[in-house]
Structure 1
Amino acid sequence: MARSVAKDHDQKRQHILYASARVFAEEGIARSNMVQVAKACGISKANIYHYYDSKDALLFDILNTYLSALRDRLLALVSDDTAPEDHLHAFVSEVLLAYLKMDAEHKIQSEGVPLLQEDQQLILKSYQRDIVRALNGTLLEIAPQRFTHDKSSLRATSMSIFGMLNWYAMWNEDADEMARNNYAKLVTDLVINGVRGG
Structure 2
Amino acid sequence: MARTIAKDHDEKRGQILKSAARVFAEAGYDRASMTQLARECGISKANIYHYYDSKDAVLFGLLETYLRDLRDRVCGVDVAGLSPEEGLRRVVAEILLAYQGADDEHKVQSNAMGALPEEQQKLLRAYQRALVQYLSDTLQTVAPEAFAKDPSKLRATTMSVFGMLNWYYMWNSGAGSKAREDYADLVADLTLTGVAGL
**Aligning the two structures, in what range does the TM-score lie when normalised by the shorter sequence?**
over 0.9
Confirm or deny: 8 A CA contact 2:74 2:98 kept in the other structure: no
- Corresponding residue of 1:61: 61
Q: What TM-score, normalized to structure 1? A: 0.94
- Corresponding residue of 1:188: 188
Q: Deviation string for 1:138-158 (max 9, x for gaps)?
A: 111111122123232111111
2:135 maps to a residue whose letter is L
Unaligned runs of 5+ in 2: none
Q: What TM-score, normalized to structure 2? A: 0.94
Q: Deviation string for 1:111-150 (max 9, x for gaps)?
A: 2221111111111111111111111111111111221232
Structure 1 123/145 Cα, relative in aligned 2: closer, same or farther at 3 Å?
Answer: same
1:131 maps to a residue whose letter is L
- Corresponding residue of 1:150: 150
- Corresponding residue of 1:102: 102
Say yes or no: does 1:51 pair with 2:62.
no
Superposed displacement of residue 80, structure 1: 3.1
Superposed displacement of residue 2, structure 1: 1.4
Superposed displacement of residue 3, structure 1: 1.4
Structure 1: distance between partners of 2:48 and 2:169? 30
Structure 1 stretches of at least 4 aligned residues deviating more than 3 Å after TM superposition: none
Percent identity over the alignment?
56
Q: Deviation string for 1:82-125 (max 9, x for gaps)?
A: 21111111111111111112221111112222111111111111
Say yes or no: does 1:41 pair with 2:41.
yes
Structure 2: distance between partners of 1:24 and 1:162? 24
The equivalences for 1:88-167 within 5 A come to 88-167=88-167
- Corresponding residue of 2:20: 20
Structure 2: distance between partners of 1:8 and 1:80? 37
Structure 2: distance between partners of 1:61 and 1:130? 19
Structure 1 193/72 Cα, relative in aligned 2: closer, same or farther at 3 Å?
Answer: same
The number of residues matched between the two structures is 195
Superposed displacement of residue 30, structure 1: 1.2
Unaligned runs of 5+ in 1: none
Q: Which piece of structure 1 moves more, 120-129 or 95-104?
A: 95-104
Confirm or deny: 8 A CA contact 2:23 2:40 kept in the other structure: yes
Structure 2: distance between partners of 1:54 and 1:64? 15
2:179 maps to a residue whose letter is A
Superposed displacement of residue 79, structure 1: 3.0
Q: Secondary structure at the match of 2:29?
A: coil
- Corresponding residue of 2:172: 172
